[in-house]
Amino acid sequence: MMEFTEAELEAYLEESLDPTRAAELEKALREDEALVQKLSYLNCRRDAGIHTLGEIWRRNQLGVPPGKKIREFIMGLTTPEETEYIQFRLEILRCPFTIACWKDLSEKQLVDAEDDIQSRRKKYFDSSAGMLRPKDD
């Protein structure tokens, strides 16, 4: 039987657990009544207003880098420490909030780059349009 930490169970309740790990937990919940009881206890504790430090961090997304830092990360402009931290959140923690921000900004950067290329092509064409007139013979 797989072991799940209290932090993973709390993250599951917050819907911020990595989808693969969440699927493993859901499968285990179908087979393990003690795990169901533990999850139920944590849920009741949350409803009573008792929160752990990790839960507060997850709920308020305190460790998620701001969009500006993730944009700099995508562009390769972060310090080695910032790069390491963002990679840790993406690859090890698999933080859904950091991943979502990274995906959104990566896609936006691709769209912006394509828009820049199209704009540059139009400027080149417009600036040379007069030179493309047919010569009078």
Q: What is the pLDDT of residues 40-94, one digit of tens each?
A: 998 888 777 776 676 677 677 778 999 999 999 998 999 999 999 999 999 988 8
In whole angstroms, what is the distance from residue 136 CA to residue 122 CA? 26
Of 73, 77, 100, 101, nearest to 87 by C-alpha is 73
Q: What is the mean pLDDT of the chain?
A: 82
Residue appearing with tokens 């752990």: 52
pLDDT score at 82: 96
| Cβ neighbours of 48 (radius 10 Å) | 8
Tell me the percentage of the chain whose pLDDT exceeds 70.
Answer: 76
